[in-house]
Amino acid sequence: MTMSTERTSFHTLINGDKPVVVDFFAEWCGPCKMMKPILDEFKGMVGERATVIKVDVDKNPAAAQAYEVRGVPTLAIFKKGEIVWRKSGVISAAQLQGVLQPFL
């Protein structure tokens, strides 16, 4: 997949009606590694009601810059193209589900 295709897919995804949880991360980041099992658990909790994607800030610096990601991990919830919530750092699956609930 080319970068322009990835960018188009990302924008199509975040502009949809379904909320999208984006995990901005880096391979070298310890706390980011802690988020993987948490996000897996979270996906099991929300199922098809939300989409969860990961964006590597080192491979996608334009995305990190566009959304002003200053530290990793940074989680953001997009709804119809707008960031409706964001937080840097590790968060539990239950906390993330609680934050997402109003946007479902």
Q: What are 52's two structure tokens?
A: 């969860």
Out of 10, 18, 29, 99, which one is annotated catalytic?
Answer: 29
CA–chain centroid gap for 51, Å, is 9
One-letter amino acid of 56? D
What is the DSSP code (8-state) at residue 48? Answer: G
Nearest to 20 by CA among 64, 66, 51, 63: 51
Cα 83-101-56 angle, rounded to 5 deg: 45
Catalytically annotated residue among 26, 32, 38, 75:
32
Instruction: Determine whether 29 is an active site residue.
Output: yes
Residues tagged active-site: 29, 32
